[in-house]
Amino acid sequence: MLIVDSDLLLVERQLRASKLACPLCSSLLAPWGHSRPRGIRGDLGARLFLRPRRTRCSGCKVTHVLLAEVLWPRRADAAVVIGAGLEMTALGMGHRRVAAYLGLAEGTVRGWLRAFAGRAEAVRRHFTVALVALADDPVMPDAAPSTLADAVSAVVAAHRAAATKRPGMLTVSRWEFAGRAIGGRVLTSPSSAS
Ligand SMILES: [Zn+2]
């Protein structure tokens, strides 16, 4: 799996021009059909339908699905929706209120939080390192009341630093940025991401 730009025509051009590299061995990826179509719930109740591209590495021969950065692996909701839920939780809202606010089932939000609880420390560390690399004079976020909130703060700070470094270039939301930067593993560990 490889997280790519949401602009599918751009990705198709990159693929056909042999500009996408294998995340395992860095050899070039070649088109290899499509994966099954999937529908995801976007912002404000929008439904998005995607048919992710499949590719095959010219080196190690492993196939990789290209996932647009709008979504995260194995989740039915868009990255911005899940990210909004994580941010509300970081601010102290309970999962029932978050679910009601987003118009989703409580079990869905609980599932995100359970998954993120196991990833928060790794996410916090990843984006703290990214912040130091991106910012000329990095300002570390204050310690938050929970590991979850610390991780959310680190993502927000790293996204802000990336946007400052490349003014006008970074047009994606912070959670799309986060998913792409961490290989889609905001909620899934490296071994379970597929
Ligand atoms: Zn490879």
Entry pTM: 0.89
State the Cα angle at 176 between 120 and 186, rounded to 5°.
Answer: 20
> What's the pLDDT tens digit per position in 62-95?
999 999 999 998 899 999 999 999 999 999 999 9
- The answer to which of 80-89, 153-162, 163-172, 182-191 has the lowest mean pLDDT is 163-172
Which tokens belong to 100? 């009601």
Q: How far is the CA of 180 from the centre of ligand 1 (A)?
A: 19
Q: What is the pLDDT of residue 102?
A: 95
Q: How far is the CA of 47 from the centre of ligand 1 (A)?
A: 33
Residue 19 Cα distances to 4, 10, 30, 51, 98, angstroms = 12, 11, 9, 20, 40
Say which residue the tokens 């042999």 belong to. Answer: 18
Residues with CB under 5 A from ligand 1 (ion): 22, 24-25, 27, 57, 59-60
Q: What is the pLDDT of residue 191?
A: 62
Rounded average pLDDT over 110-137: 94
Q: How far apart are CA 165 and CA 160, in angstroms?
A: 9
Rounded average pLDDT over 115-142: 91
Q: How far is the CA of 163 from the centre of ligand 1 (A)?
A: 31
Strand ranges for the chain from DSSP E: 2-4, 29-34, 38-41, 47-50, 53-57, 63-68
Q: How far is the CA of 30 from the centre of ligand 1 (A)?
A: 11
Q: How far is the CA of 161 from the centre of ligand 1 (A)?
A: 31
28, 20 Cβ separation under 8 angstroms: yes
Buried b (16+ CB within 10 A) or exposed e, 53-91: bbbbbeeeeeebbbbbbbbbbebebbbbbbbbbbbbbbe
Q: How far apart are CA 106 and CA 117, in angstroms?
A: 16
Q: What is the pLDDT of residue 8?
A: 87
Q: How far is the CA of 54 from the centre of ligand 1 (A)?
A: 13
Q: What is the largest CA-CA distance in the chain?
A: 48
Rounded average pLDDT over 25-43: 93
Q: How far is the CA of 147 from the centre of ligand 1 (A)?
A: 35
For residue 56, pLDDT beyond 90: yes
User: How do beta strands 47-50 and 38-41 pair?
Assistant: antiparallel
For residue 39, pLDDT beyond 70: yes
Which tokens belong to 14? 């990159």
Q: How far is the CA of 158 from the centre of ligand 1 (A)?
A: 29
Q: How far apart are CA 62 and CA 112, in angstroms?
A: 29
pLDDT averaged over every residue in the chain: 91
Q: How far is the CA of 8 from the centre of ligand 1 (A)?
A: 22
Q: How far is the CA of 55 from the centre of ligand 1 (A)?
A: 10
For residue 172, pLDDT beyond 90: no
Q: Does residue 38 or residue 152 have the better pLDDT?
A: 152
53, 15 Cβ separation under 8 angstroms: yes
Rounded average pLDDT over 154-178: 88
For residue 193, pLDDT beyond 60: no
DSSP per-residue string spanning 10-22: HHHHHHHTT--B-
